């Protein structure tokens, strides 16, 4: 809080200095006034639209991670929210926001750097992947539509393919509603089967050559809603059992329709993890998946020892958790104190 | 979102009009420029400090409620967050925010109106109370200290007492750390015992006369941290049992040290409610209280049928709920998506 106040003070002091300079010339034109105001308001304007991008890269090498993040940090009006990487998935997940222009630029620059630094021929990891830049989704957050994000994804895909000669597939809302839109289908066989798959007519990429790029693999990009990434740690090192549990939750294998689940072994802790992405946590709330997971674990007498959000936790997911476990009836986003305060200040009015 | 964008458009259009007018006079002075900028920045400045006030009034009459709320709405830079009132407590709880000046003014004006409209001689309700303006806490939210809020409470209390001749007691952090700071002690015996209590030397008010004011009772004011108001509905109409359950949770009767709990009967639904205030939900998280409540209910075979936050839900309370029920290990306020986005935009920088 004090940092914000301190920064605001310095900014105003700097503006005061600019004004002091202007007092020496007694008058100035309305053009100069308009330019100053536009510079101020444009910054406010630029921040009014918010897109999130959550690129996943096939690396967990700290130097490579830093290089990729540096590309995002260089972009004005792109703001890092979260960074996760680990050696057992050997994967880097970044979340950042900005306006349409800054997010596209940051996504491209980070991906170009990743293509330069990552060699898929050496990549081993427990997460399904087909490329150095494995998946790059664009997500509308504020004053941006899904169509905007689809356009961003296509622009991203086209440009990445042109610059790097990497094959790019569209998925999710950016793709027609058939098998080709399903990232599991696109990534079927992983990088290891890509050379064989990419020449099949039905697997012609949406951008770039239908040729195997050994160093970089292929990239998936698209647009989607906010998703919940949720991992649950099990008190067992038995990956075979963990895979059975994951299978029970996965949409295609008899589990919940909005859930993808996989199992991984975490050698540093000698435990297993069920890694899940819940692509519609409003229809399939986390508590429901968690309780089903407990049921499956009970079959094998396996304890759940912890969980974590992969990336950021959507507030709605927390509200639904309280709805179920505390039986709260009247809780919505606007009734969370920190959100209500922010909304009231932003609106600058007196809501009913 | 579109309402925000629309209002922003209208504001800019209005500013554009002002600029258009200025084009007719080719030049204007730096003084005019400074005034315009100050007007703009002052608004930003005014919003940088945030105080919350949560006054409780002894009424649930809709017309009286509207009159009281109208006084808050009239104050520039005071923003209503939440309004709750019900007939079984016969109590109105309002939450609003603003800067120190606007919050003080709104609290005073609303209280003066309440004193005018409410007659305690006719008041019946299930919630402990001693006055028309029963309790008025000031809470530091952003760029405001507890000391600031204590000063606000004292200024509020002094002014209310002067204008209305109502006795006012300081509680919580505004009061010395002894029995007099405890609102339960101040309200002991309720309004019905006030006439007898107020003349006792140890109960001399901090402001106003040590005389019974039959119409308005007395007022309590002070400063405190954010608190969680949490009510749980039981599937029983038996108030006697509900009172036993409430007693089990109350700090002074063998329950949790940060919890006050009471029982009420809700005639419209023929059920009972445990009403709780948890004054430090970080030390005593909601899930712990809720689980203990379940244990007590099990003794009588009473189901819990629902719950609600009285007022707004602090985000930390939801995070702790997920920590316990979903066993999440890595969740903090900054890792909630909506908060992270807002923080990033506010800081205007690229956090690590």
Nearest CA in chain B to A74: B350
Q: Collect all residues of chain A within an 8 Å Cβ-Cβ radius of residue B350.
A: 72-73, 78-80
Is the separation of the CB atoms in A140 and A146 below 8 Å?
yes
More confident: B174 or A215? A215
| Residue A250 a catalytic site member | no
Q: Which of B22, B81, B326 sits opposite A286 (nearest CB)?
A: B326
Nearest CA in chain B to A94: B352
- What is residue B330's DSSP assignment? S
Confidence of residue B351 (pLDDT cuts 50, 70, 90): very low
Question: Tens of pLDDT along A173-221?
Answer: 888 767 778 899 999 999 999 999 999 999 999 999 999 999 999 999 9
Residue B348 to chain A, least CA–CA distance (Å): 7
User: Residue ranges of chain A with pLDDT lower than 70?
Assistant: 1-47, 177, 348-352
Residue B144, phi-psi category: left (phi > 0), alpha (psi -120 to 50), beta (remainder): beta
pTM of the model: 0.82
Q: Does B26 touch chain A (CB under 8 A)?
A: yes
Radius of gyration, CA atoms only, chain B: 23
For A204, phi then psi, to 5°, come to -60, 130
* Mean pLDDT confidence for B165-190: 88
Residue B214 to chain A, least CA–CA distance (Å): 32
Question: Tens of pLDDT along B54-80?
Answer: 999 999 999 999 999 999 999 999 999
Is the separation of the CB atoms in A204 and A155 below 8 Å?
no
Residue B55 to chain A, least CA–CA distance (Å): 16
Whole-number pLDDT of residue B10: 60
Q: Which of B23, B314, B338 sits opposite A30 (nearest CB)?
A: B23
Burial of A240 (0-12, 13-18, 19+ CB in 10 A): exposed
Q: Which of A45, A306, A345 sits opposite B47 (nearest CB)?
A: A345
Whole-number pLDDT of residue A350: 39
Q: Best of B45, B266, B318 to disrupt the A interface by mutation (most A CBs within 10 Å)? A: B318
Q: Collect all residues of chain A within an 8 Å Cβ-Cβ radius of residue B28.
A: 27, 30, 33
Q: How many contacts, defined by CB atoms under 8 Å, are there between A and B?
A: 238
Residue B17 to chain A, least CA–CA distance (Å): 12
Collapsing DSSP to helix, strand or coil, B297 comes out as helix
* Mean pLDDT confidence for B5-13: 58
Whole-number pLDDT of residue A9: 57
Q: Which of B5, B15, B28 sits opposite A30 (nearest CB)?
A: B28
pLDDT over 90 percentage in chain B: 78
Whole-number pLDDT of residue A179: 73
Question: Tens of pLDDT along B336-347?
Answer: 999 999 888 777
């Amino acid at each position: 809080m004090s940092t914000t106040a301190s920064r605001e003070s310095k900014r105003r002091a700097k503006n005061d200095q600019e004004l002091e300079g202007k007092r020496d010339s007694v008058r100035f034109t309305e053009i100069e006034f308009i330019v100053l105001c536009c510079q101020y308001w444009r910054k406010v304007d630029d921040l009014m639209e918010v897109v999130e991008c959550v690129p996943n890269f096939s690396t967990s090498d700290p130097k490579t991670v830093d290089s990729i993040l540096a590309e995002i940090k260089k972009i004005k009006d792109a703001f890092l929210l979260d960074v996760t990487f680990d050696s057992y998935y050997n994967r880097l997940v970044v979340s950042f926001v900005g306006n349409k222009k800054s997010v596209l630029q940051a996504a491209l620059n980070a991906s170009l750097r990743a293509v330069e630094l990552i060699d898929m021929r050496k990549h081993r990891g427990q997460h399904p992947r087909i490329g150095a830049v494995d998946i790059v989704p664009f997500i509308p957050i504020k004053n941006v539509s899904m169509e905007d994000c689809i356009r961003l994804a296509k622009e991203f895909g086209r440009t990445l393919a042109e610059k790097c000669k990497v094959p790019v597939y569209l998925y999710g809302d950016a793709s027609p509603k058939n098998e080709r839109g399903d990232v599991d289908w696109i990534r079927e066989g992983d990088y290891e089967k890509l050379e064989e798959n990419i020449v099949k007519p039905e697997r012609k990429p949406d951008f770039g050559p239908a040729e195997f790029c050994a160093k970089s693999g292929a990239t998936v990009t698209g647009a989607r809603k906010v998703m919940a990434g949720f991992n649950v740690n099990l008190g067992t090192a038995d990956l075979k059992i963990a895979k059975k549990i994951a299978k029970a939750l996965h949409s295609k294998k008899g589990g919940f329709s909005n859930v993808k689940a996989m199992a991984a072994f975490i050698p540093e802790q000698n435990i297993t993890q069920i890694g899940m992405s819940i692509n519609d946590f409003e229809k399939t709330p986390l508590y429901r998946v968690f309780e089903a997971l407990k049921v499956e674990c009970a079959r094998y007498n396996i304890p759940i020892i912890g969980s974590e959000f992969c990336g950021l936790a959507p507030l709605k997911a927390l509200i639904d958790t309280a709805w179920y476990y505390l039986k709260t009836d009247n809780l919505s986003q606007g009734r969370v104190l920190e959100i209500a305060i922010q909304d009231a200040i932003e609106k600058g009015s007196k809501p009913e």
